[in-house]
Structure 1
Amino acid sequence: MNTKLFLITVLSVFAFANAKPNDNSKKTIQMEKVTFNADGLVLSGHLYKPANFDSSKKYPAIITGGSLTSVKEQMAGTYAQRLAEKGFVTLAFDYRNYGESEGQPRQFEDPELKLKDLQAATTYLLSLSYVENVGALGVCTSAGNVAYLAAEDDRIKAVGTVAAWLPDESVLPMLYGSEDTIQKLREVGLEAKKKFANTGENDIILAYHNEDKTASHVGPMEYYMDTTRGGGVKEWKNELSVMSWGPWLDFDPMSKAKEIKTPFMMVHSDGSALPDNVKKFYNDLQGEKELIWGDGYHFDYYDQPKQVNLAVEEVSAFFSKNLN
C-alpha cells in the first residue's frame, strides 16, 4: 500500500493565483466542442488538447466528470483544462439529461445511464487516431460513477477520484434522517416517474440549498449558492428531477471497490464527504492504489487553488505513470 500524507505549499498556491494570462502552456491549450453518441442520444463535450499538440503522435486521454447535476463548464472543465496543461488529451462532457446533451427527462439522475455515457465517452476517445490509452477522473458524484466504469470496462487503464462521494446503504439514514424518510422519498420518486410516463410532466425540485428543506441536498452549499463560483455558471441548473430519488438512493459505488483491479488514486480530506467510506473503499480496491490525504473542505476541491493544485499535481503524475 502506497499511502501519502501531503500538505500543499504556499508557493504552489501563489503560482496558481498569479499565473499570467500569456503563460505559454495556457495560451496554447486547444479546446473544441465535440459530440458523440450514447444509446442514440447526442452528448456534448469539450475536448482539450495539450500545448504543441501533434495529431500524428499518440497521447494518453482522460475523461473528467463532476458532481450531481453539474455540467462540463464546472469542475469537470476545470480539471480537464488543468490536465491538458500537463500534456493529456482530456474530455469534459455533459451526461445525458444535463447541460447541452440530449436526453429526457431533463435533470434526471441514474447511475446506470451515466455508466453507459462514460463507456460511450471511452469509445469516442479511443476512436481518435491520436489517443493511445484512456483513464477517468471523477470529482464528487462522478467519483462513484467512474468506480462503476472501472469495475465494468477494462478499456480504462487508470482512475482518479477527487473529493469522492461514495455512499452505500449504511449511510443513507444518516444522510436523510431515517429509514421512513428514505422510503417516502422512494415513493415520491416512483409517483413522479408514473406522472412523467402518463403526462410527460417532469416534477422538479431544487438540487441544492442552504436552508430550503424541499431541496435534495440541504446544508452549507456555498459553491452552488455563490454566483462567483459554481452558482454563476450559466449552463448549470440548480434542479433535480423528482423521479431521480429511486436510482439516486440505489447508487452504491462502495460495492464496486472489490471488483476494481485498475490502478486507482484517491484524493480526499477529513473535511470532504464521507471520509470513512473513502478509506474503506480504498482498502477494498484490488489493484495498484494510492491515497492522498489533503486538507480543506469538500467544495474546495471543485475550484480553490490550493486543493485543485494538490489534486492536479498528484493525479497527473499518477496518470502519466499508468497511461503512457
Structure 2
Amino acid sequence: MRTSILILGSLALFMSCHTPKNNSQSLPIVPSNPIKQPMMYTLKSGKNSITFTSFGVNLAGDLYLPEGFDSSKKYKAIVGASPFPQVKEQVLATYGPEMAERGFVFLGFDYLGMGDSPALPGEHKQSRYMFRLIENTWDAVSYLGSLPFVEEVYGLGVCQGGSIIASAAVTDHRIKKIATVSGMMAADAFQWTDKNAANQLIAAANASMQKQYITGKPDYVAPFGLNDEQSREEYIGEAAFPEMAGESYDYYGRDGYRGPKAVENFTNMHIGDQAMQSLISIGEAYADKIVQPTLVVYGADAPTAVCSTAFIDKLTNTHEVLAVPNFSHVDFYFKPAAVKVSTDAVAEFFAK
C-alpha cells in the first residue's frame, strides 16, 4: 500500500498551468568538434561552459575539470544524467565539482528542450522525453570521446538519471562503467502498483498531447502538484504525505535549495504529455543486458529503494551495492554528508 500511493506525490521525486521561464541561449562555448579547434586549449580547471551537437542542435553543458588540469594528460571522464525535471545547475552542479575534485572530468548538460538547450524547431521547451534523453546521452559520450585528454568514459545517473544511464549503457559499450545514486531504474513497482492512478496520469497525458497537436501551443502542468509560486506551508498543507512533500519542497520549491528562485533556468512546470514516456521503465526491462560493471547507491530506508533493489535483482553483470541507512532519496541530491558518501563511493568504483 505504501508503494502504491507514492505515485502521485512522488512521480514528486522525478515526474495545473503556468508558462515556464524564457531561458537565455547565450553561452561562451567550446565547439563540438574541439580536436580541430585551438579554442579547446582555453579549457581550465573548474567549470567550463561548452556545447555539443545532438539532434542537429547545440546542447548546453558544463565541463568540470580537475585542479591542475593539463590537456596533454589523460583523464577518466564521467557523463552525468540528472533527475527529472532538472537542469544542469541542480544535481549535476553538485556532483560535477565533487567528481572533478576527485580527479575526474565531468560533463553535466541540459537535455534537448531543457534549461539552456533549445527545443527542436516546432517543438516546445520543458519536453524531457525518455528516448531522446538516451540519445542525448550517446551524443554526450561521443563529445567526451572526441576530447584528446579523455581516456575512458563512465556514466553517473541520479534519480531518473539512473534509468537514463542504465538504458544508454545497454548498447553503448563506449561507457565502460556506470553508477547510479537514488536511481529510478526499476520504477514499475513504484508507479504501476495502483493501476488506476497510473491510468489517470496516462489519460491526462494523452489529452495534453492531443491538445498540443490541435492548438500548436505548449500545455504546461505541475507534474508533482508543485508550482513555482507556492510557499512550503501551502504545498505541504495540500499534500497527502507531508513528510515527502516537505522533502521535495526543500529542494524544488519556490524557496527551496535549488528551486526556481535559486536556479534561473529551472521551473517546476513541464510539458503535459510527459507521463506517456516517464511511466516506461526502460532500465528495468534491460537490466540483464548490461555488461558494464555497475555501482548502485541508494538510501536503504527511502521509499524509492525498491527502484534500486528490483533493478539489482535483475543484474547479471559484475555489480556492487551501497545501501546507506538514514538518508532519504533527495538527501543524495545536496545534503553534504550524503553527497560525500555517494561521491566517495563512485570515485573509488570508477578508479578501480
TM-score normalised to the size of structure 2? 0.77
Output the CA distance in 2 between the equivalents of 1:47 and 1:304. 22
Match of 1:133 in 2: 152
Paired AA for residue 125 in structure 2? R
Paired AA for residue 149 in structure 1? A
**Per-residue deviation, residues 225-270 of structure 1 (Å, max 9, x unmatched):** 2635121222211112111121111233211211111011011112
Question: How many residues align structurally?
Answer: 287
CA-CA distance at 1:139 after TM superposition = 0.6
Q: Is the 8 A contact 2:304 2:329 kept in 1?
A: no
Match of 2:133 in 1: 114
Output the CA distance in 2 between the equivalents of 1:53 and 1:297. 34
Residues 1:90 and 2:121 aligned together: no
Stretches of structure 2 lacking an aligned partner (at least 5 in a row): 1-43, 227-234
Match of 2:288 in 1: 258
Match of 1:23 in 2: none
Output the CA distance in 1 between the equivalents of 2:189 and 2:64. 39
Match of 1:80 among 76, 80, 96: 96
Match of 1:298 among 322, 329, 332: 329
Q: Cα RMSD (Å) of the superposition?
A: 1.8
Summarize the alignment of residues 12-91 of structure 1 with structure 2, pairs less than 5 Å apart: 29-91=45-107
Match of 2:174 among 155, 159, 163: 155
Residues 1:316 and 2:347 aligned together: yes
Bigger mean CA offset, 258-267 vs 223-232: 223-232
Match of 1:17 in 2: none
Output the CA distance in 2 between the equivalents of 1:273 and 1:130. 40
CA-CA distance at 1:167 after TM superposition = 3.7
Output the CA distance in 1 between the equivalents of 2:200 and 2:71. 53
Residues 1:289 and 2:319 aligned together: yes
Output the CA distance in 2 between the equivalents of 1:246 and 1:290. 32
CA-CA distance at 1:273 after TM superposition = 4.3
More strand by share: 1
Summarize the alignment of residues 83-232 of structure 1 with structure 2, pairs less than 5 Å apart: 83-103=99-119, 104-174=123-193, 178-208=194-224, 209=226, 210-211=235-236, 219-220=245-246, 221=248, 222-225=250-253, 227-231=255-259, 232=262
Distance 1:56 1:260, change over 3 A: same
Distance 1:165 1:206, change over 3 A: same
Residues 1:233 and 2:263 aligned together: yes
Question: What is the DSSP-based 3-state SS (H/G/I as helix, E as strand, rest coil) of the residue aligned with 2:264?
Answer: coil
Output the CA distance in 2 between the equivalents of 1:195 and 1:96. 22
Output the CA distance in 2 between the equivalents of 1:139 and 1:165. 8
Q: Is the 8 A contact 2:298 2:322 kept in 1?
A: yes
Paired AA for residue 98 in structure 1? M
Output the CA distance in 2 between the equivalents of 1:302 and 1:168. 19
Paired AA for residue 258 in structure 2? G
Paired AA for residue 154 in structure 1? H
Sequence identity (%): 29
Q: Is the 8 A contact 1:268 1:293 kept in 2?
A: yes
Q: Is the 8 A contact 1:166 1:274 kept in 2?
A: no
Output the CA distance in 2 between the equivalents of 1:65 and 1:80. 11
Q: Is the 8 A contact 2:182 2:308 kept in 1?
A: no
Bigger mean CA offset, 79-88 vs 102-111: 102-111
Stretches of structure 1 lacking an aligned partner (at least 5 in a row): 1-27
Q: Is the 8 A contact 1:119 1:149 kept in 2?
A: yes
**Per-residue deviation, residues 180-210 of structure 1 (Å, max 9, x unmatched):** 3322322221222222223221111113334
Q: Is the 8 A contact 1:33 1:44 kept in 2?
A: yes
CA-CA distance at 1:51 after TM superposition = 1.0
Bigger mean CA offset, 162-171 vs 149-158: 162-171
Output the CA distance in 2 between the equivalents of 1:234 and 1:193. 27
Question: What is the DSSP-based 3-state SS (H/G/I as helix, E as strand, rest coil) of the residue aligned with 1:145?
Answer: helix
